[in-house]
Every structure is written in C-alpha cells, then in structure tokens.
C-alpha cells in the first residue's frame, strides 16, 4: 500500500509525480506494537523517477542484496525496482535467509545480476505455492516480467491471504512484536507516561496537539 501510494503520487498541482523509494529493505520496514507495517526512509537521495539521480549513470543508492539489477547497473529506474526489493524482503521474511547471499559484496552483486535464489519451496516445504510464485515473480531480473505496479502486487498478495482477515494478520504481527520486544516497549511506554506526568495539563491546553 505504501509503495502504491508513493508510485502513484500526485503533486498539489495535480501533476503525477511518482516517488521511487530506492531502498526497500528490512531496516526500512517498521512493525508497530499494534501490528501495522510502516515503510520508512522515503527521503532517500534518489526520490523520484524523474530526478537526475534516477537516470542512467547515477550513483547507486540502496542496500546490496535487496537492490534491483537495474539499480546495480546504474540504469534508469521506476517503481518496478522497488517491487524487486520488496520481493527480496518477502523472501527473507518467509525463508529466514536472504534471497541473495555471498561472502563479500562482489559475490552478492553477482548473485543479483547472474544468480538465482534457492527456491522458496526448498527452504520452506509447506509454503503455499501461490505465495511462492508471487515472490518469485517479484524477483525476476527482467522488469517486464515482474508485476508492473505495486497495486497489482498488492492484489496478488491479498489473493494469497484471502482466508485471513487484515485484523487477524495485524493481531498475529502484534503478538510477535510484543513477544520479541515486549520489555523494551513497556520501558518506552512508562518513560512517555512519566514525561507527560511531569507537565501540568494546562501546559497543553492551548496547543494544536
């Protein structure tokens, strides 16, 4: 949904101004304690499809192992580069291991440009075939063979998860986040509560917050 909104962004004048993220990677996908997923770092250096940094010959911005082949080749990019990156994130989330691995950066780059990830079904034998196929299509080296829009990818993922309501998915995600980070979340919540307690209510009466 976040990528769809970015790729279909329209400026205040009503002119299409698609934003390409250029660094969809695990570190930029944030999970809240309520089970929501947020996409961070949309202010990456190469922010728009039409910017000079998005043209061929631009410097590489992104995370190795998640960047699309065209990004590594420093070619012009559009939203389909982000879909490749999201595919790599989904692969790792499902398999518990990166799609593209190597002993050093050169090997990782080679794997993205010339290699092929281990089939998800081999890493996760009980994975639903339709979900594995969605991830595989995201990771096609040719952008013409990938999903052509974030909206199309979202529809495909929704079909894979149609037996699960969004509420149940968020509940399960929230449970995992709280299991892993429960004590740290409680510490932050207590610190915020104490900070508010130190200020009289009148201090906030005339604000817009």
Output the pLDDT for position 146: 98
Q: Determine the average pLDDT of the residues in 20-48.
A: 82
- Separation CA 44–CA 32 (nearest Å): 22
pTM reported for the whole predicted model: 0.81
Output the pLDDT for position 90: 97
Q: Determine the average pLDDT of the residues in 37-46.
A: 73
Share of the chain above pLDDT 90, in %: 62
Range ranked top by mean pLDDT from 46-50, 66-70, 74-78, 175-179: 66-70
Output the pLDDT for position 157: 94
Phi, then psi, of 156 in degrees rounded to 5: -65, -40
The yes-or-no answer on residue 34 being catalytic is no
Higher per-residue pLDDT: 95 or 52 = 95
Tens digits of residue pLDDT in 79-138: 999 999 999 999 999 999 999 999 999 999 999 999 999 999 999 999 999 999 999 999
Cα–Cα distances in angstroms (integers) from residue 140 to residues 19, 56, 124, 127, in the given order: 22, 20, 20, 19
Q: Determine the average pLDDT of the residues in 30-45.
A: 82
Residue 52 in this model has a pLDDT that exceeds 90: no
Output the pLDDT for position 163: 78
Q: Determine the average pLDDT of the residues in 24-50.
A: 77
Tell me which of 11, 23, 41, 208 is the catalytic residue. 23
Residue 75 in this model has a pLDDT that exceeds 60: yes
- Mean pLDDT rounded to a whole number for the chain: 86
Q: Which residue has the tokens 């993220």?
A: 21
Cα–Cα distances in angstroms (integers) from residue 135 to residues 85, 103, 195, in the given order: 10, 24, 44
Higher per-residue pLDDT: 142 or 203 = 142
Burial class (CB in 10 A: 0-12, 13-18, 19+), 112: buried
């Amino acid at each position: 949904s976040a990528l769809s909104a970015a790729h279909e962004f329209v400026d205040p004048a009503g002119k299409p101004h698609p934003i390409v993220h250029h660094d969809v990677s695990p570190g930029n996908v944030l999970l809240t304690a309520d089970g929501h997923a947020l996409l961070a770092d949309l202010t990456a250096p190469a922010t728009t499809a039409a910017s000079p940094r998005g043209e061929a010959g631009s410097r590489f911005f992104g995370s190795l192992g998640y960047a699309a082949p065209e990004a590594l080749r420093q070619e012009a990019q559009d939203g389909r580069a982000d879909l490749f990156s999201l595919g790599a994130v989904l692969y790792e989330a499902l398999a518990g291991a990166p799609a593209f691995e190597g002993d050093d950066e050169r090997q990782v780059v080679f794997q993205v440009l010339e290699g092929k990830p281990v089939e998800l079904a081999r890493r996760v034998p009980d994975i639903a075939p339709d979900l594995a196929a969605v991830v595989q299509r995201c990771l096609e080296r040719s952008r013409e063979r990938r999903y052509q829009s974030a909206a199309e990818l979202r529809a495909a993922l929704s079909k894979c998860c149609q037996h699960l309501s969004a509420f149940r998915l968020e509940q399960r995600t929230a449970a995992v986040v709280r299991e892993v980070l429960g004590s740290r979340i409680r510490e932050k919540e207590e610190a915020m509560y104490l900070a508010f307690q130190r200020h009289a209510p009148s201090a906030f009466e005339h604000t817009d917050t």
